[in-house]
Structure 1
Amino acid sequence: MNQERLYNWTLEQKEAESIRIIKETLERFGTDKVATTFTGGKDSLTLLHLIKQACGGTVPVRVIQIDTSVKFKEIYDFVARMSKEWDLNLCVVRNEEALKTIRIAEDHVQCCYQLKTVPLQNAIRDFGLAALFTAVRWDEQEARQGEEYFSPRQNPDHLRVQPILHFREIDIWSYIRKYNLPFCELYRRGYRSLGCEPCTVRGGPGGPERAGRAQDKEKAMQRLREMGYF
């Protein structure tokens, strides 16, 4: 796959390719067997709006919010706002057992695995999903650079579908401006990538997009992804 060629597409071409992937997935599996993730961040917001475009103005699939219990209040408020305004079928999932014992942010890899990956895996099983949309991008994180649009996964078996791989950070903001989309106010305060509050700080301009994330976790991203993280 020629990523450089795709990066050079116009925003309209990138939108069209994303919508094609979304429609192909829904035609193959149906809306009951497909869900999308929504973190409250700019990328999953863009993906949600692309699903709306592909589906006549609605989001007809489950929208999974993984609640670690330590997200920023602004993120919780924004997800609640969008759920109401866009009439989302929001499904909030948590690992209640882990929350009773885990020391938040002490071991970033185990914390992410227990509080993000495990509830996501449980949701895929519980909802009987065949496919899951996620809003990862090639240019966002080194461990995601080799991803494909359609990626079979195990534990549990499902197809990970990633329709905005070819969007760059600048494309995301161009898309948000084009459609005048609301977005989480933390971005106005200098955050470029939103995670859990104990593990996220403002990222400086000009550096890596995820410079404000816990860097030991970033270095272990490939391992986390092999464990089921997106």
Structure 2
Amino acid sequence: MQNLLALNWKMNKTPTEARAWAQELAGKLVPGPAELAVMAPAITLSTLAANLPAGVAFGGQDVSAHESGAYTGEISAAMLKDVGATYVVVGHSERREYHGETDAAVAAKARQAQLSGLVPIVCVGEGLAVRERGEHVAHTLAQLDGSLAGVGPDVVIAYEPVWAIGTGKTATADDAEELAAAIREALTTRYGSDADDIRVLYGGSVKPDNIASICAQPNVNGALVGGASLKVPDVLGMNDALKE
């Protein structure tokens, strides 16, 4: 299965900055075994469509659970699809924490994404207190179950231990594999043999110097990358690390 590097810019980069980033990447990228996809602010997506090198995908960081209508400020799956997006992140820990998104809301967004032909990247994971109680597996699987209600198997799962996001702390490769294996088993229960084709990503302070060991685990199929996605040299370093 091909690894996926989903590069989550979060609330960073203007369209002008996005154009410069994409053009720098186009001038330096040597395609490797991983698929690259830039998860960018919606206002930059048209710019990325015009400037990313061939073979590099892009997508949104969130999507409305509604098809269309009087939902001021929201962005529909059809809008993302029309501009050329392939993926959309749903249920990122920051959306869950700062915007109160529930598992049911995440599932509704994922379903709407699939109806428009987008692949949702469904995020799940635990906070530090949950991990310290030894409840991280049960917590994450319960979150996964609720977030996939009514969602088909054309999906990507991103496991993000919340305590390792933007903190400089990183779960070990064994930690990532423990949850990825548990997620894979749950996906098999839900989707049967279709689960074999679902990519499970790890997200949390991923960098060029740790990505290879994490992605070498049997049930980890790439990474959801935050801070290290903002600089092209870091992206190239991660891409190169997966060639070795």
TM-score of the superposed pair, with normalisation by structure 1: 0.32
Which of structures 1 and 2 has the larger relative contact order (alpha carbons within 8 angstroms, sep 6+)?
1
TM-score of the superposed pair, with normalisation by structure 2: 0.30
